[in-house]
Structure 1
Amino acid sequence: MTSNIYSPRRTTQPTHHFPHLGTASFDMRFTSTPRGARLARRLSAVRLDAWGLPYGTETHEAVVLITAELTANAVRHGRVQGRDFHLLLRVVERPGPTARIEVTDTRGERVPPRPGKLPAAGLADDGRGLLLVEALSTRWGWYPRTQAPGKTVWAEYDMTVGGAD
């Protein structure tokens, strides 16, 4: 796990400037392993709590679950040996407070279906991750990376719709 040293505008420390939630941002690279995905989920949970979205609230649980599914998919479907995945978690105003989760991996040829085009998972033991993301998030999608191979899968959770608790 390493901080993004190539972007001077991004930081692993939050910056606040709105009354309750502020402008908050968490940006870090993780090893493309199940352990890296677990660490990304845990650090996201800790960061949300520090931003005033406490454990056990609807918003906290939804954003952490979305983050967990996106990072697990990056490890399972976007892994390239020796390459990390990148997580960006931030709270933005659109017009109300919205949590935006972006997970970038380096495997561009394996892309998810477009939102609304997900096949039903049925009784399979796996394959429900993006269905959960679609059900919990206000909107989600993906786009190819422009500077290098890979893709970014993102999801947004409107805290006014889901309840900022």
Structure 2
Amino acid sequence: MQVFWAKGYEGAQLNDLTAAIGVKPPSFYAAFGSKEAAFREAIDLYIATIGSAQMRALEQAVTVRDGLRAMLEGSVEVALSTKSGGCFLILGVVNCLPANEVAREHLMRARRKTVELVSDRLRRGVADGELPADTDIPRLAAFYHGILQAISFQARDGATRAELRALIDPALRALDPA
């Protein structure tokens, strides 16, 4: 997972992957079957471990604003948790050769799941009366997903924790009444 996170799907070479887990190529292929299958497992592992805390925080917070804040703060911490910076789900496949479309689609499904989780929390905010009934949930969910992407790309470019956290309050103002 760390190799794919740092180098992306296309940048990760077999020798990088085998060195990271301490096996020879035949053992790698026996364990995973292919680089693509290893990538899918790495994404699933990331979602189940590193990427799950901020989504749980989003869901479990008492208010939608607190949940979004916790999700964004968690995203900053994840984005700064590796030397390469950023979020594996966002940066795992940025450029994609046609031969690697299946890997990109797996990552896109994972990102769509993030948007669905944000949408679900926004819907709950509407149902609880925290947000107006006419809230444009798809647009707002896409906006917050865009903020997650901004955090990831800026972290990859070397932004500091303070610079990334400075994105949160302006993003939460999108919840304020017009």
TM-score by length of 2: 0.34
Greater strand share, structure number: 1
Q: For the pair shown, which has the larger CA radius of gyration, 1 or 2?
A: 2
Which of the pair has the greater relative contact order for Cα pairs under 8 Å at 6+ separation?
2
